[in-house]
Structure 1
Amino acid sequence: MTDTLDSAPAAAAGTPASVASVIRAPRGATRTAKSWGAEAAKRMLMNNLDPEVAERPDDLVVYGGTGRAARSWAAYEAIVRTLDELEPDETLLVQSGKPVGVFRTHEWAPRVLIANSNLVGDWATWPEFRRLEDLGLTMYGQMTAGSWIYIGTQGILQGTYETFAAVARSLGRASTGSATGSGASTGSATGSGASTGSATGSTIPADDLRGTLTLTAGCGGMGGAQPLAVTMNGGAVLIVDVDRTRLDRRVAHGYLDEVADDLDAAVARVTAARDAGEALSVGVEGNAAEIFPELLARGIRIDIVTDQTSAHDPLSYLPIGTAVADWQAEAARDPEDFTRRARESMAAHVRAMVGFQDAGAAVFDYGNSIRREAELGGYDRAFSFPGFVPAYIRPLFAEGKGPFRWVALSGDPEDIAKTDRAVAELFPEDAALHRWLRKAGEQVHFEGLPARICWLGYQERHLAGLRFNEMVASGELSGPIVIGRDHLDAGSVASPYRETEAMADGSDAIADWPLLNALLNTASGASWVSIHHGGGVGIGRSIHAGQVCVADGTALAAEKLARVLVNDPGTGVMRHVDAGYDRAREVAAERGLTVPMW
């Protein structure tokens, strides 16, 4: 059977009367769809638009300024209606947020296949994408917005936590003493082994940021993970955002400790915390393109500098001189001039970041394309500092290690507590994982459906998935578990400014790998699979794929989980073997992955 679905092509506007003003995913073990695969997809779509989760739910925007869950409200309604009617042997196709067809497949096939914002090479530019978007023909899906597996700020939190732990290790600080590392100093900025002031007399673990100060910007859906990730690693952090409401939201949700009234107060609070060796996060309202240069000019000692503003899309970055209240109107009135001014501001922002690096701070791009945008804005040293993946994360990718996330469809937080304990029991020797699970259980505020994330590698993820499935089958959990991941993963993305920057063999821009990942996950029995273009770095700069599985307690689910959760991270090991990484070769040999050599 083949159905063609007709939904309005217009871009998302106001919420129609037929859609509730507040969307919240159903909870519990009773489904309205005909399979848990379809029910899970529906609930996760709705969860993406829960006001606790989404940046601008009325506009269908989940995060990243423009990342939508569906193209229009009519398309959203059609998706939900179709998922409820979908047979267990049918597959729904979604083209850039619009449902376009239902096809008879089989029970092992995904219930949903999604493609978002994919453009042919010569047409893959922001102006052409916006022209097509204005015609209602496409939408920007970011990574997990348009693939319905965003779990709020926690979704990026552990990756951010792992990154800052790696930053701490890279500083090479001595374990004791009052001023540590090769760059010990009380001057305007520190060396790569930054001085930690007078409060670090006790032993400091290698992955602890105690006695350091991090400067960053962007406290929205993704960037909002940064302050908690730094404090969970023991450091002090100052985070800048142009929108005070974002900072206040992070305080309310426990991701940010406090918001200062002005820059002077913010600097006083974080420098005192750094010198005392205390973990503290402080937000301040302002434009990073102005505040970063100001802090550099003042000679404030900063140890670590990064950024997670929505720089991938110039229309989502506020230029100097534009008020937040005028942002959308000015961007819409003259997008080309707004882009020019945004890029000039990004150039000032990045120039200051390079200035901190020149003074000795550890500086890295956090995957938002700000270096390329600053270069387009006229700054020729924009790529003086590295991206976070080649600087800190690639050794993990070579092992197939990456973000493994799960969601309790029951809505019961106790289900997450039980699965946390199960994961800890499965990997008793992994001290870093235990530390994360303990801290997350104590400090992470759930947004929408209760969820958790941790980083697991090749031949590890399926053990957790199968255990969850057993817990559902036995009744230990009160409902099925959805298992997915970020698209920021070892083998699911080609992104030369982020995940595949500086590959050993120069294959940064080869996009065959994420396509193979999506095809393999489809063949292995994933519940839904997606292929996107653009992600967190912008149109023309990445191709990436996602997969989601459902542990519903059945024998069929167990068979699927055993394949998908081995094969999916296996493509990461395969990809890094092919690129020449020795550690990936070792992992493949140790864990039984066949990679033909020629």
Structure 2
Amino acid sequence: MFDFTKHTNIRAPRGNRLHCKGWGQEGALRMLMNNLDPEVGERPDDLIVYGGRGRAARSWEAYDAIVRTLLELENDETLLVQSGKPVAVFRTTEAAPRVLIANANLVPQWATWEHFNHLEELGLTMFGQMTAGSWIYIGSQGVIQGTFETLAALGRKHFQSHTLRGRLYVSAGLGGMGGAQPLAAKMLEAVALLAEVDPARIEKRLATGYLDKVVPTVEQGVREALRAKEAGEVVSIAVPVHATELLQYLVDHNITPDVLSDQTAAHDPLVGYVPDGYDVKEAAALRAADPDEYLKKARASIARHVELMLTLTRRGAKSFDYGNNIRRVAYEAGVQDAFEIDGYVPAYIRDLFAQGKGPFRWAVLSGKPEEIYKLDQLVLDMFSTNEPLCRWIRLAQKHIHFQGLPARIAYMGYGEREAFGVRVNEMVARGELSAPVVFGRDHHDTGSVASPFRETEAMRDGSDAIGDWPILNALLNVASGAHWVSFHHGGGTGIGYSLHAGMVVVADGSADSAGRLERVLHNDSGLGVVRHADAGYELAAQTLQKNPVKTPLIGPETQPRRK
């Protein structure tokens, strides 16, 4: 019998044996457990998956209750999870989702970190981040293609090149999201130099193949990075220091990186960001003893961090905020020109969103890496004319080490996702794959997020803060039959700054799954294209012409424009 009671060294079951009463429940159970696999989660013993305090469940008691309920859940029942706590099971229909999740949602007047921290302390809520509390995080691979596509677009835009060879990329943060940076930069042939204050995170990236080497001092790191750049070498180097120490050295020595960013968890200053001058243990002690003083020091440190980034930007570095809300936190701390730094979505990613492209992902429940490689080949065969997608798959095969259940991410677009999902379901049905496949995505996707300092920054029609779209996305995915659907607040940029929805559907080889996959994967990305067409993006309108959707009031003559 499989042991579902463990709270340490959790590892999801592998293979085609059902422990639940259906594969929808089984998929949810395994992906929940996979989030807490030591290979995957950042601090699984504390239920923290990534992103400062992004949790899989509110408490171990809640986790145990979720697991027990999924094991017993009937195929016409739906489990409701309120901020990581299972609260009810209702009779629905076989076509309905098996799990509905809502995390960290606060009434707008109370949607601040202060109110959230108070409610969390009372045990009434938890921070689900994006894919932590929706059970579809797949380790550092989950963000790596987004980082790759961002840096590739930056290279094309600023350096007229498809690679970053001979360029120096400087950033900070090697946690659950930032850990993808060194490998993405390496895949684009750059030299990456990264600061990380937590040595354990550096060791994890070394162990999983996302980072090449660590050096003890900033001086040595800079020297090695410049030597490699001059020699045309490709390498990633980490230095166990605070970001401000690395950036101050570059400023003082008049060294300007070609590309500059940051992926610390600055969106959550209390838990996600260590103030400069403190190591991890000292920061934890201050946080526990005096949270208000900790916040004061963290925000002052973030302000210095962004001021240094601005100095390097003005010296010629191509800088971007990589979605952690660091500009906004610095702005509120007095850095009035923080937004001179570009946001990465409007600068580099929006055209992908307009085509329904985003961080689509799948995991094989067999646990067999060779089955991911089978699916890689299917992608190459089905989409052989999509050169960026094929290039990515080949690079991923070469560079990415699996964490937990073998998984893959690929920026597939509108029309491609459901075609692929249906074909995979057929492979499961024929026995070409030995167990079902889970399909999901990051909440950071084409139409599932309202986040004015990230995904919806500088929308053409001024609709940055309109929160209707992620709500419609969640409702549409429920109506379409996703196996589990989630709606969260605060992921990526922090409490008060984002609303976002997620979905997951399981390909178990059945006709039921075929229908779910076709509807969910078509409608989910299709709504994102509609959202961008509605905002006046011509590329989205062109995409809709290839994949017709009834859009009664979308057209150039109906579009207001940002004033």
- 1:21, CA displacement in angstroms? 2.2
In the aligned structure 2, how far is the partner of 1:36 from the partner of 1:18?
A: 20
8 Å CA contact retained: 1:340, 1:377: no
Tell me the residue number matched to 2:300: 344
1:291 to 234, 240, 246: 246
8 Å CA contact retained: 2:75, 2:94: yes
In the TM superposition, what are the counterparts of 1:63-462 in structure 2 within 5 Å? 63-173=50-160, 206-315=161-270, 316-462=272-418
- 1:28, CA displacement in angstroms? 0.5
8 Å CA contact retained: 2:414, 2:526: yes
In the aligned structure 2, how far is the partner of 1:207 from the partner of 1:163?
A: 12
In the aligned structure 2, how far is the partner of 1:245 from the partner of 1:300?
A: 28
**Paired positions, count:** 550
Tell me the residue number matched to 1:526: 482
- 1:18, CA displacement in angstroms? 5.1
- 1:590, CA displacement in angstroms? 2.1
In the TM superposition, what are the counterparts of 1:541-552 in structure 2 within 5 Å? 541-552=497-508
Q: Which amino acid aligns with 1:338?
A: Y
8 Å CA contact retained: 1:406, 1:451: yes
Superposed CA offset, 1:25-50 (max 9, x none): 00010011000000000000000000
Q: Which amino acid aligns with 1:106?
A: T
8 Å CA contact retained: 2:256, 2:315: no
- 1:571, CA displacement in angstroms? 0.8
In the aligned structure 2, how far is the partner of 1:426 from the partner of 1:271?
A: 42
- 1:286, CA displacement in angstroms? 0.6
**Structure 1 residues without counterparts, runs of 5 or longer:** 1-16, 174-205
8 Å CA contact retained: 2:198, 2:279: no
Tell me the residue number matched to 1:198: none
Tell me the residue number matched to 2:30: 43
Secondary structure at the aligned position of 1:171 is classed as helix
Q: Which amino acid aligns with 2:37?
A: D
Backbone CA RMSD of aligned residues = 1.1
Deviates more, 1:284-293 or 1:155-164: 284-293
Secondary structure at the aligned position of 1:101 is classed as strand
Tell me the residue number matched to 1:578: 534
Tell me the residue number matched to 2:561: none
In the aligned structure 1, how far is the partner of 2:123 from the partner of 2:217?
A: 42
Tell me the residue number matched to 1:494: 450
Secondary structure at the aligned position of 1:330 is classed as helix
- 1:322, CA displacement in angstroms? 1.9
- 1:593, CA displacement in angstroms? 2.0
The runs of 4+ residues in structure 1 deviating greater than 4 Å are none
Superposed CA offset, 1:36-74 (max 9, x none): 000000000000000000111110000012000000000
- 1:362, CA displacement in angstroms? 0.5
- 1:595, CA displacement in angstroms? 1.4
8 Å CA contact retained: 1:236, 1:279: yes
8 Å CA contact retained: 1:574, 1:584: yes
TM-score by length of 1: 0.91
8 Å CA contact retained: 2:7, 2:60: no
In the aligned structure 1, how far is the partner of 2:158 from the partner of 2:369?
A: 37
8 Å CA contact retained: 1:588, 1:595: no
1:511 aligns with 2:498: no
Q: Which amino acid aligns with 2:471?
A: L
Deviates more, 1:234-243 or 1:272-281: 272-281
Identical positions, percent: 58
In the aligned structure 1, how far is the partner of 2:405 from the partner of 2:222?
A: 36
In the aligned structure 2, how far is the partner of 1:343 from the partner of 1:112?
A: 37
Secondary structure at the aligned position of 2:321 is classed as coil
- 1:301, CA displacement in angstroms? 3.1
Secondary structure at the aligned position of 2:159 is classed as coil
Name the CA shift for 1:288/1:121 in 2 (closer, same or farther; >3 Å).
same
